Copies of this chain bind each other. A is one copy, B any other.
Amino acid sequence: MKALAEIQVIPIGVGVSVRKEVTRAHELIEASGLEVQLHAYGTNVEGDLDEILALIRKLHETLHAEGVPRLATAVKIGTRTDKTPTLAGKAL
């Protein structure tokens, strides 16, 4: 099933600046092969829902393995049956 999503990773317990961890999360999202759009409050992605969910798992797994003790991730997922959702189609 085709889906759009916004993924925002909030690392907790790494200090006030979270830039390093957020940059790493974005690298992993970029490497997923999904269509991506980075913005100040997360990364929007377009692709297969299963791949998006697998990516979320990978983000938690990888960032914890690399030393981040706690993660709060906020995800918005959009699917529809009347037409194929695309990030471009959501542009105003």
Contacts and interface: CB of A to CB of B under 8 A. Distances in A.
A82 B70 contact: yes
Interface of A: 1, 3-4, 6, 8, 10, 12-13, 15-16, 18-19, 22-23, 26, 37-42, 44, 49-50, 53-54, 56-57, 60-61, 64, 69-82, 87, 90-92
This chain: copies in complex: 4
A12 B1 contact: no
Contacts of A4: 40-41
B81 A69 contact: yes
Contacts of A77: 56, 60, 71-73, 75
Contact of A1 (B38, B60, B75, B91): B60
